[in-house]
Chains A and B, each alone.
Chain A
């Protein structure tokens, strides 16, 4: 009899505990439901960034690099420009009427960011340690290698880095670029001009014999003069990571750009068409020897956005 009573008592204590714990859990769930999201949201970051409230976003692009950044009949086009449009739309500046395009020469990219002339630079900007002391980078959004483009008449004579060192060949590159340093490292003396376009014009006018820069920029000029030039694959070794330049004082904007690139990367990885892939296929894709895919952006912050709840599979 006392055994049954004891069991009843134990049972009622267990019930009390279960009821109390369930009520506690329910209360905790209620509090949890009311708290703010633990991670910053895209909107929070936008409010932190200096572009918040601006009527237009100022983006620095190249206007003389075919396929990457060019100005044709008053309309900006190219891979970098398409990426810039996607980023602008992500940041709330959809359409060219909300974008102020600032044409930048290669060596003006860092000063323009530092001086507040532009909010972003999307212009074949290689991410290097040196530059990261002066500006912030989000990316990479493209991995490219340094190559050399020679006129068809020289395609059999300039094949190696050794050939570039020979004094009879005049090698040209643009100032303030990573190519300049890379050529120096390989003891190649180069004529440094303002724009890669000047080198190409120089070769066509007989002033230079070869031009060295990123394969993407060279592909652009090759697309303009497909019968006059050829790209020679040379083992320069280091690959270039192209990133989006952001003022160093605006980490929120850097985070947003990295997050936008990551969004496109994840879309592409899941087999969907991504903004990156669309930009690539419309511009560089047909002109590069090997097909490329979007590289994974580095240091992407964890942010919450409205479409996070969408199914991923």
Chain B
């Protein structure tokens, strides 16, 4: 009898349903890092196909000429914003869910985002926020405040243990923020850009209440909805990133016969002694004899047009901090006439 009990108590292999916390953490960690590394890698390759206009031979031409480093650098330049948005959303929502499920019974399965937050080192979260800080457009940057406060669960109580000094510090911070943005807010109100007003004014106030556990009834739907929403948003936001060109846009003036010039709008794939290979903006590849090339200018793409007419202390709200600083280093940007000539 006792032998039978002992035999039952020591199963040869643990049943698959039972997993120890260490294994769970390892699996969560694996899935998280796979997403962080895999998504950009897949995107980079997908982009080449889109860039080539869906043509197999053109894709192969690009693969042959665009180096891995160039591809990765090009990807980071255009997708850093998307990448940091995904990470910031994950950390902020994950932290809110984590602190909420801590109050729940242990039998409740922890939401995926909360598990991801468990396995991510703090430095990685901080780095993601820093990347967002320098790559997000200034208009959306205030959203980083509640996201940061949520991700690190910085309750106002952590500012000071006594009530009065805490309120004074908070008031000081809010007044400083209002002073920084007041001219822009007035301008936005005058232009009836109410979304801009909300985006600039509301986030610091929301940050005051965003910490803390959510009611039990909200956690389950919030977890599943936000997981789906983060994924959907990433896919939705990824489409423009996939279609953002890898190569810079140029207009090349070609003189095919004496006195006959033609402007070709497109991306230079490669140049050698014999020909310049151009991926045309309207599709197709052109091999232009190098000695026929008369001029070449760099042109801005239409997606770079500003969407708002607001500035925060002379920084355009559609610029990120990095772009804004760059414009201060090289302030004058002339658009070459050739960029307008061909549509």
Contact B333 A22 (CB under 8 A): no
Bitwise interface map of B from 145 to 160 toward A, beta carbon under 8 Å scored 1, else 0: 0110010000000000
Residues of chain A within 8 A (CB-CB) of B208 are: 18
Q: Which of A121-179 contact B (CB under 8 A)?
A: none
The verdict on A90 contacting chain B, using a C-beta distance below 8 Å, is yes
Partner of B209, one of A15, A35, A42, A53: A15
Q: Known A13-B215, A15-B210, A313-B314; judge A307-B340 contact (CB<8 A).
A: no
Whole-angstrom distance between the Cβ of A271 and the nearest chain B Cβ: 13
**With contact pairs A30-B233, A93-B341 given, residues A25 and B214 touching in the complex (Cβ less than 8 Å):** no
Q: How far is the CB of A12 from chain B (nearest CB, A)?
A: 5
Residues of chain B with a CB closer than 8 A to A92's CB: 337-342
Stretch of B43-51, B57-65, B194-202, B275-283 contacting A (4+ beta carbons < 8 Å): B194-202
Residue of B nearest to A32 (CB): B195
Could you tell me if B305 and A25 are in contact, using CB atoms closer than 8 angstroms? no
Determine the chain B residues whose CB is within 8 A of the CB of A28 once the complex forms: 195, 198-199
Instruction: Enumerate B175-215 residues with CB–CB distance to A below 8 Å.
Output: 195, 198-199, 202-203, 206-215
A310 touches B332 (CB 8 A): yes
- Assess whether B250 is interfacial by the CB under 8 Å rule: no
Q: How many residues of B contact A (CB 8 A)?
A: 62
- Asked if A206 lies at the interface with its beta carbon under 8 angstroms from chain B, I say no
Given contacts A94-B336, A309-B327, contact A23 B226 (CB under 8 A): yes
Main secondary structure, interface of A, reads: helix
A-B contact count (CB 8 A): 144
**Shortest beta-carbon distance from A46 to chain B in Å:** 6
A38 and B340 contact, Cβ closer than 8 Å, known pairs A12-B212, A33-B137: no
- List residues of chain B with CB within 8 A of the CB of A19: 96, 150, 210, 214, 222
- Evaluate contact between A34 and B214: CB separation under 8 angstroms: no
Which residues of A are found within 8 Å of B147, using beta-carbon distances?
22
Interface residues of B in 309-339 (CB under 8 A from A): 309, 311, 314-316, 318-319, 323, 327-328, 331-339
> Which residues of chain A are near B337, meaning CB under 8 Å?
88-94
A18:B215 contact, CB within 8 angstroms = no
* Cα distance, A19 to B335, chains bound together (Å): 43
Bitwise interface map of A from 1 to 39 toward B, beta carbon under 8 Å scored 1, else 0:
000000001011111111101110111111011111111
Q: Is the Cβ of B226 less than 8 Å from the Cβ of A26?
A: no
Instruction: Determine the residue in chain B with the shortest Cβ distance to A256.
Output: B340
Query: CB of A43 within 8 A of chain B?
Result: yes
Given contacts A25-B198, A309-B319, contact A42 B340 (CB under 8 A): yes
Q: Are A35 and B307 in contact (CB under 8 A)?
A: yes
B300 touches A18 (CB 8 A): no
In the assembled complex, B306 has its CB within 8 A of some CB on chain A: yes
Q: How many angstroms between the C-alpha atoms of A308 and B314 in the bound complex?
A: 11
| A11 with B212, Cβ < 8 A, contacts A26-B143, A94-B337, A310-B333 known | yes
Task: Check if B335 sits within 8 Å of A307, measured CB to CB.
Answer: yes
Name the B residues within 8 Å of A43 (CB-CB): 302, 340, 343
- The reply to whether A12 and B214 form a contact with Cβ atoms under 8 Å apart is yes
Give the one of A19, A38, A89 with max B CB within 10 A.
Answer: A19
Bound Cα distance from A24 to B182, whole angstroms:
23
**A136 CB, nearest partner CB in chain B, Å:** 21
- Chain B residues with Cβ under 8 A from A18's Cβ? 146, 206-210
Is there contact, CB below 8 Å, between A94 and B338? yes
Does A198 touch B at the CB level, under 8 Å?
A: no
Cβ contact of A41, chosen from B302, B314, B338, cutoff 8 A: B302
Residue A304 lies at the interface, judged by CB distance under 8 Å to chain B: yes
A292 within 8 A of B: no
- Complex Cα gap A310–B240 (Å): 24
Q: Is B101 an interface residue (CB 8 A)?
A: no
Residues from chain A with Cβ under 8 Å of B339 in the complex:
92
Whether B32 is near chain A, meaning CB under 8 Å from some CB there, is no
B residues within 8 A CB of A94? 336-338, 341
Q: Which residues of A contact B302 (CB under 8 A)?
A: 41, 43
Given known pairs A92-B338, A310-B333, the reply for A22 and B210 (CB within 8 Å) is yes
In the assembled complex, how far is the CB of residue A51 from the closest CB belonging to chain B, in whole angstroms? Answer: 10
Contacts of A97 in B (CB 8 A): 261
Report how far A16 CA is from B146 CA in the complex, Å. Answer: 13
A304, B305: Cβ atoms closer than 8 Å: yes
The answer, yes or no, to whether B22 is at the interface (CB within 8 Å) is no
A21 to chain B, nearest CB (A): 6
Q: When A22-B147, A33-B137, A309-B327 are in contact, do A17 and B209 touch as well, CB less than 8 Å?
A: yes
Say yes or no for B237: interface residue by CB 8 A criterion: yes
- Contact yes or no, A22 B316, CB < 8 A: no
Do residues B146 and A15 form an inter-chain contact, with CB atoms below 8 A? no
Give which listed residue, B140, B229, B300, B334, contacts A33 with CB less than 8 A: B140
A52 within 8 A of B: yes
Give the distance in Å from the alpha carbon of A110 to the alpha carbon of B261 in the complex.
32
Q: Is the CB of B214 within 8 A of A22?
A: no
| Sample of 15 more A-B contacts, CB < 8 Å, known A11-B209, A21-B206, A28-B195 | A15-B213, A18-B206, A23-B226, A25-B199, A25-B202, A29-B140, A29-B195, A30-B233, A32-B139, A34-B240, A89-B337, A91-B337, A92-B341, A93-B337, A311-B327
14 residue pairs of the A-B complex, CB under 8 angstroms, read A12-B212, A12-B214, A15-B211, A23-B229, A28-B195, A29-B140, A37-B306, A89-B337, A92-B342, A306-B333, A306-B335, A309-B323, A310-B331, A311-B328
4 closest A-B pairs by beta carbon, nearest first, are: A94-B337, A92-B340, A92-B341, A18-B209
**Which of A's residues lie within 8 Å of B, judged by CB?**
9, 11-19, 21-23, 25-30, 32-39, 41-43, 46-47, 52-53, 88-94, 97-98, 302, 304-313
Chain B positions within 8 Å of A, measured between CB atoms, are 89, 96, 137, 139-140, 143, 146-147, 150, 195, 198-199, 202-203, 206-215, 218, 222, 226, 229, 233, 236-237, 240, 261, 300, 302, 304-307, 309, 311, 314-316, 318-319, 323, 327-328, 331-343
